[in-house]
Amino acid sequence: MGRSTAVIGTFIALWAGLVVQGQCHTPFFIFGDSLLDAGNNQYFNSGTPKSSLPYGETFFKRPSGRSCDGRIVADFLAEYANLPLIRPYLEPGFSNYSDGANFASAGAGILPETNPRMIHLKMQLSYFEEVQKKLKQQEGEQKAQELLSKAVYLFSMGGNDYMNVGMPKFGNTMPPVVLTASYKKQYVTIVLSNLTSVVKKVYAMGGRKFIFQTVGPLGCMPVSRYASGSTGCVHDVTVLAKMHNIALSKLLLKLEKTLPGFKYALFDYYSALAEITTYPSRFGFKEGRTACCGSGNFNGQFTCGKNGTAYNLCSDPSQYVWFDAAHPTESANKHLTSLFWSGPLKVVWPYNAKALFQMP
């Protein structure tokens, strides 16, 4: 009798664990640019794929479509949340969205005109709308809405929009402009207005839990130092990034007050990445300004992995903050994600990513 009771108790415990596990399942949807692209551009006709080694060499042992030697922030967040790596929406055969989907596209902007050839934010939203329809077909209306309301939505965009106007040598697709103080303010307002529109649409479709990265230290990237011919950080794009980040923080406070149930985490990606770029040795890195892979000063030219092109490649990417001219290494991404996931209020607020993923 005692043994039977023990067996029944074990089954009940296992069943309860499965129920709790099911309740905790939190889908993860990702909107962004090259910092978060897990391979969409490989399948997008106009995309420039990261299809050659040394991209992917550290973790995947093959090119994965990521602008990195290994994993990106979205990958580490998924791992922390006990999810599989979230697959790119355009990956052939991908149709089970119960864990989420990644819509990010390298080179994309919040504004469509920033890089019309890439998957800009409004197009990423249209992909998410297709996912919503397919989830309803697969799971039924009620289950689909439950998944969408439990899901966490990551947004990390804006860098390309500001590089496009702030760095004339950065493959500019827009006419050159005079960056007066009033123009900068107006431009930041337009960029954030477009971001807000998409966030509100995701909210209207059921989204309640949002996590955001601020725009990074654009002026301190190897490509910026190379293009400007300066050893220091470039002024105009640095100012634009800071203006965006201050305005984004205020915007999210406003959305929290006006949208019932809207919860968010804002990660100060700018400060966290600027700190390890400026003081690499404090965080276990050897080099903070020069990229592991590329050519020219600071390896700031985008030649890494290009066939028929000479480029430099470091022997150990884990010693570097930057992998190529504009993207951190896997080691840097791991450090940054640890702060995003469970860092203190000074780097991620009012919640951290862990709290959002664990929130009912």
Instruction: Say if residue 291's pLDDT is above 80.
Output: yes
What does the pLDDT average to over 262-269?
Answer: 98
Instruction: Say if residue 22's pLDDT is above 60.
Output: no
H or E segment to which residue 155 belongs:
strand 152-156
Instruction: Give the range among 20-24, 52-56, 350-354 with minimum mean pLDDT.
Output: 20-24
Q: Which residues are catalytic?
A: 34, 324, 327
User: Within 13 A of 126's CA, how many CA atoms are on the CB side?
Assistant: 7
Q: Which residue blocks in the chain are alpha helix, DSSP H?
A: 2-24, 40-43, 73-80, 121-139, 141-150, 159-166, 181-204, 222-228, 235-258, 269-278, 330-342, 353-358
What CATH class is the domain 28-270+331-358?
alpha beta
- pLDDT of the residue at 308: 85
Cβ count within 10 A of residue 157: 28
Listed in sequence order, the residues at least 6 apart from 49 whose beta carbon sits closer than 8 Å to its beta carbon are: 39, 41, 42, 63, 65
pLDDT band at residue 25 using 50, 70 and 90 as cut-offs: confident
Are 105 and 118 in contact, with CB atoms under 8 Å apart? yes
Per-residue pLDDT reduced to its tens digit, 314-331: 999 999 999 999 999 999
Instruction: Give the range among 15-19, 78-82, 100-104 with minimum mean pLDDT.
Output: 15-19
pLDDT band at residue 103 using 50, 70 and 90 as cut-offs: very high
Sequential DSSP letters for 159-171: HHHHHHHH-TTTT
Per-residue pLDDT reduced to its tens digit, 40-87: 999 886 545 577 999 999 999 999 999 999 999 999 999 999 999 999
- pLDDT of the residue at 2: 46
Side chain identity at residue 100, one-letter code: G
Instruction: Say if residue 10's pLDDT is above 70.
Output: no
Instruction: Say if residue 212's pLDDT is above 90.
Output: yes
Instruction: Give the range among 2-16, 138-152, 335-349 with minimum mean pLDDT.
Output: 2-16
Q: Give the separation between CA 72 and CA 85, rounded to whole angstroms.
A: 10
Share of the chain above pLDDT 90, in %: 84
Backbone angles phi, psi at 40, to 5 degrees: -55, -40
- pLDDT of the residue at 175: 60
Per-residue pLDDT reduced to its tens digit, 163-201: 999 886 565 555 667 889 999 999 999 999 999 999 999
- pLDDT of the residue at 178: 81
- pLDDT of the residue at 31: 99
Are 211 and 356 in contact, with CB atoms under 8 Å apart? yes
Q: Give the separation between CA 179 and CA 273, rounded to whole angstroms.
A: 25
What does the pLDDT average to over 230-255?
Answer: 96
pLDDT band at residue 140 using 50, 70 and 90 as cut-offs: very high
- pLDDT of the residue at 202: 98
Are 331 and 325 in contact, with CB atoms under 8 Å apart? no
Instruction: Say if residue 125's pLDDT is above 80.
Output: yes
pTM above 0.85, yes or no: yes
Instruction: Give residue 141's Cα distance to chain centre.
Output: 29
- pLDDT of the residue at 5: 43
What does the pLDDT average to over 307-311?
Answer: 91
